Amino acid sequence: MKTYTYNNNVELMKRAGKVIPCGVYGHLGPAEGCMIPTSAFPFFVSRAEGSLMWDVDGNRFIDYMCGYGPNVVGYCDPDVDAAAMEQMKKGNCTTLPSHIMVDFAELLTKTVKKDWAFFAKNGGDVTTFAIMIARYYTGKKKIIFVNGYYHGVAPWTQKPDSPGTLDTDCMHSLYVDFNDIEQLKKVIAENKDEIACFISTPYMHGNFLDNVLPAPGYWQEVRKLCTENNIVLICDDIRCGFRLSLEGSDNFYGFEADLICFCKAIANGYNISALCGKEFLKGAASSIMYTGSYWMSAVPFAAGIANINKLIANDAPAYFRKIGTMLTDGLAKIAKDRGVNLAISGEPALFYLAIRDDDSLLLHQEWIAECVKRGVFLTNHHNHFVNLSLTPELVNETLEICDEAMKIMVKNHPEVYR
């Protein structure tokens, strides 16, 4: 099985580094630490279709990052793209919003069982707005976070030692562990009548650690405590949204959030995010001036309508669970047969992988690198995604490559695998 080379990628990164901070900044580039060693990874794509992408050296990859989530029905999906292009002929960023915004809001609220929808562009736009609404509605300042969280890059989401963040940005932040109800009760009691909101992802799917599902009854108890203490319950469904349940991940885990944030899978890569909420918070949302130049662009609304209708028509969450389980069961068997302790956590639709045979993470990074160099695009320490275009044939090809990569990794380390 041949391995890839990246001459064009390297040259393009050199050019990028001269004019763009980090060359490729943020989570799509190597600076985040999820593409180690960088020599094993491409940096730039030339085209993508379905579950496949080709880099600027012409290397083909089965992509399990899905643009870090937005690719939910397949890259360049003909139905979603046709809807977007048809709307583009009519107008996109106009002085007044298109009527299609209302159409999308009606579809979205009906789908996720909420009373209203507010649109922006990035996930951080709507998590920030959710916090603002909670503070305005309750008249309180403090936010309860779950340790290991990620809710965007705005200062309120950071820790005091984060570059560019002030101590005052974080002075109203409280922290609890996921699944620890007693700790949550204690924090609420110690900050009585001061807590505006509790914000969390539906399960813990952070980087560099095994993912953790909610314990039985956890979310129901969180809901009860929030209701009793006038705390707005915010579900950050940016990453999981529409992959576990089309009605929202709060529905999937059997509770009802007051506010729920969507972005990645809402329009198959067209730039839009949404905050959906209950009727009692609509007045607060209406009172806050919060907007952006492109937030009501019509093309993403058209793409969103086509995307959600396609997810509904194909019962997408059921397919994600089926195809994701096929993949993760196959990976588990490969690891067992080769004597490798491979931890697989999270939900099958967005699973997390980690080899646990050393504490340094180097064995896992080596295995992932060997997979990438042979055409399966994974990253070291982030959860992965499946999408509607992923076929059993592509999964079988993936498993063949991952087995070959693991065979090589095991052979390279007789001190571990005897």
Q: 84 in a domain, yes or no?
A: yes
Q: What is the pLDDT of residue 239?
A: 97
349: Cβ contacts below 8 Å, ≥ 6 apart: 240, 243, 244, 317, 320, 321, 324, 385, 386
Please tell me whether residues 148 and 290 are part of one structural domain: yes
Q: 127 in a domain, yes or no?
A: yes
The domain in which residue 264 lies consists of 78-313
Q: 416 in a domain, yes or no?
A: no
Stretch 210-224: mean pLDDT, rounded? 98
Stretch 202-210: mean pLDDT, rounded? 93
Q: List the one residue out of 215, 133, 233 whose CA is nearest residue 178.
A: 215
Q: How many domains does the chain have?
A: 2
Q: 370 in a domain, yes or no?
A: yes
Q: 417 in a domain, yes or no?
A: no
Q: What is the pLDDT of residue 127?
A: 98
Q: What is the pLDDT of residue 376?
A: 98
Q: What is the pLDDT of residue 416?
A: 95
Cα(173)–Cα(151) distance, integer angstroms = 13
Please tell me whether residues 180 and 322 are part of one structural domain: no
Instruction: Read off the pLDDT of residues 113-156 as tens digits, 9 standing for 90 and up.
Output: 999 999 999 999 999 999 999 999 999 999 999 999 999 999 99
Q: How far lies 202's CA from each of 122, 197, 218, 245, 410, in Å?
A: 19, 15, 11, 11, 35
Domain CATH number, residue 67: 3.90.1150.10
For residue 249, count other CB atoms closer than 10 A to its CB: 27
Please tell me whether residues 185 and 164 are part of one structural domain: yes
Stretch 28-35: mean pLDDT, rounded? 83
Q: Is the pLDDT of residue 32 over 80?
A: no
Q: Is the pLDDT of residue 373 over 90?
A: yes
Q: Is 94 exposed, middle or buried (0-12, 13-18, 19+ CB in 10 A)?
A: exposed
Cα(355)–Cα(413) distance, integer angstroms = 13
User: Last residue of a domain, which of 313, 338, 366?
Assistant: 313
Q: What is the pTM of this model?
A: 0.96
Q: 193 in a domain, yes or no?
A: yes
Q: Is residue 28 very low, low, confident or very high in pLDDT (cuts 50, 70, 90)?
A: confident
Please tell me whether residues 43 and 132 are part of one structural domain: no
Looking at residue 220, its amino acid is: Q
Q: 135 in a domain, yes or no?
A: yes
Please tell me whether residues 165 and 240 are part of one structural domain: yes
Domain CATH number, residue 117: 3.40.640.10
Instruction: Read off the pLDDT of residues 148-195 as tens digits, 9 standing for 90 and up.
Output: 999 999 999 998 888 999 989 999 999 999 999 999 999 999 999 999
Q: What phi, psi does 252 have (nearest 5°)?
A: -60, -40
Please tell me whether residues 66 and 146 are part of one structural domain: no
pLDDT averaged over every residue in the chain: 96
Please tell me whether residues 144 and 265 are part of one structural domain: yes
Please tell me whether residues 306 and 338 are part of one structural domain: no
Q: What is the pLDDT of residue 89?
A: 98
User: Last residue of a domain, which of 291, 313, 335?
Assistant: 313
Q: 235 in a domain, yes or no?
A: yes
Which residue reads 């999408």 in tokens? 387
Q: What ranges in 98-148 are assigned the alpha helix state H?
A: 100-112, 123-138
Q: What is the pLDDT of residue 174?
A: 97
Q: What ranges in 139-274 are assigned the alpha helix state H?
A: 181-190, 218-228, 249-252
Please tell me whether residues 336 and 202 are part of one structural domain: no
Instruction: Read off the pLDDT of residues 240-253 as tens digits, 9 standing for 90 and up.
Output: 999 999 999 999 99
Please tell me whether residues 299 and 332 are part of one structural domain: no
Please tell me whether residues 198 and 125 are part of one structural domain: yes
Q: What phi, psi does 264 have (nearest 5°)?
A: -50, -55
Q: Which two tokens stand for residue 173?
A: 């932040």
Instruction: Read off the pLDDT of residues 50-107 as tens digits, 9 standing for 90 and up.
Output: 999 999 999 999 999 999 999 999 999 999 999 999 999 999 999 999 999 999 999 9
Q: Is the pLDDT of residue 275 over 90?
A: yes
State percent of the chain over pLDDT 70: 100
Please tell me whether residues 120 and 205 are part of one structural domain: yes
Cα(325)–Cα(395) distance, integer angstroms = 10
User: Last residue of a domain, which of 313, 338, 358?
Assistant: 313
Q: What ranges in 292-337 are assigned the alpha helix state H?
A: 298-313, 316-337
Cα(269)–Cα(304) distance, integer angstroms = 9
Q: List the one residue out of 345, 331, 332, 341 whose CA is nearest residue 210.
A: 345
On whether the CB atoms of residues 340 and 410 are closer than 8 A, the answer is yes
Q: What is the pLDDT of residue 33?
A: 80
